[in-house]
Structure 1
């Protein structure tokens, strides 16, 4: 698919923006990121992960202390509770290790399908599709994989994204939605897929093609 070919040229090795030091801290960071920005989570967890980078250390820290570190994050009380319960479950059921299995991950406190998919993709290098608000919006806006809910969009994306691009597809879409195809005002003039985008409306109704290819470093496929 030409869209993902261009994303790959633009960002050959896209990475998530949540800071972490190992798979456990990645899992915790993703849990904390629900209804919060990555920047806000990073600001709160830098100090936390310096002293609690394993389930055992996090459990020893305790719910109250964890709460003090993440107080600036939305829903911090419930999230602090889940982080402790999560740590307990990892120690009790998995020997303190984060499992590389979706079913096992989603049984952990505070871990939903999206969180599990992020961890499986970023650490275990599995070609999963973690549908967040950015991906849900873009999939519907540009008619890539329309769906009424995140499950429908995830299923549709897994069908339409070519296998060779699946490993990085969710990161490409998230970054595109965060920095270019924004919710309130998409910056179509900066978009590397503007001329092939199927969105019914574009910024200021500027007709495609919009991209100055010499500025993006990309060339349209012939």
Structure 2
């Protein structure tokens, strides 16, 4: 996608949602990190249901560690991969206390050194908690970037690098959330809502759905 169309695309997304944010519920950078770590193979709604109770009891590294592995598992067992998530979260809390005074580091390398924290999770924390112009390429962003032609790529890293090159600077901070929300509610995997899409005329996707297809899908 050329620079002019890319700028127009994000200008339209900004016009309808000037201040996008994550749908995960959190109050501190630590709560955000926990929520994102728990979100693998789970919806934001499922994570919010778990953290609503968990954060009332434990919302700091020391408090999470005090729960112990079995205690933490009792709170998160409704989520997929809860055994691995519990282990990684406890290890991460221990490192935060030992190396960072219990605070979340504002540094990619330090974040990615935490167990269970990869590039995507680090990007979410840097962007959402600290306002850094980073992009966390999840399945929604990967799909939207390839379908629209904004930044086609075969891997999440390739898509991330392509997006960082082509998105105009004024849109970079919020681009992550605009693309996720667009993929979650409009450019969906199985039946994209092309007739309702505000960027459809800029999109390179060759198999756009029609209003008739959308109605058929709705009644299926």
Alignment: residue pair count: 206
In the alignment, structure 1 residue 60 sits paired with structure 2 residue 66? yes
Kept in 2, the 8 Å contact 1:4–1:169? The answer is yes
CA deviation profile, 1:45-91 (whole Å, cap 9, x unmatched)? 11001111110111111111111111110000110111111100100
Match for residue 95 of structure 1 among 101, 113, 123: 101
- 2:26 & 2:88 partners in 1: Cα distance? 18
Q: Which portions of structure 1, spanning 4 or more consecutive aligned residues, are displaced by more than 4 angstroms?
A: none
Bigger RCO of structures 1 and 2 (CA < 8 A, at least 6 apart)? 2
In the alignment, structure 1 residue 74 sits paired with structure 2 residue 80? yes
- 2:211 & 2:24 partners in 1: Cα distance? 34
Kept in 1, the 8 Å contact 2:148–2:203? The answer is yes
- TM-score of the superposed pair, with normalisation by structure 1: 0.91
- TM-score of the superposed pair, with normalisation by structure 2: 0.92
Match for residue 182 of structure 1 among 160, 164, 188: 188
For structure 1, the residue ranges without an aligned partner over 5 or more in a row are 207-222
Q: Secondary structure at the match of 2:210?
A: helix
Structural mapping, 1:3-152, within 5 Å: 3-152=9-158
Q: Secondary structure at the match of 1:111?
A: coil
Kept in 2, the 8 Å contact 1:21–1:53? The answer is no
- 1:38 & 1:81 partners in 2: Cα distance? 21
The Cα of 1:112 is off from its aligned counterpart by 0.3
For structure 2, the residue ranges without an aligned partner over 5 or more in a row are 1-6, 213-220
The Cα of 1:150 is off from its aligned counterpart by 0.3
Indicate the RMSD between aligned Cα atoms, in angstroms.
1.1
CA deviation profile, 1:146-184 (whole Å, cap 9, x unmatched)? 001000000000001000000000100000000000000
Greater helix share, 1 or 2?
Answer: 2
Give the match for residue 218 of structure 2.
none
Kept in 2, the 8 Å contact 1:142–1:200? The answer is no
Kept in 2, the 8 Å contact 1:32–1:73? The answer is yes
The Cα of 1:196 is off from its aligned counterpart by 1.5
Q: Secondary structure at the match of 1:203?
A: coil
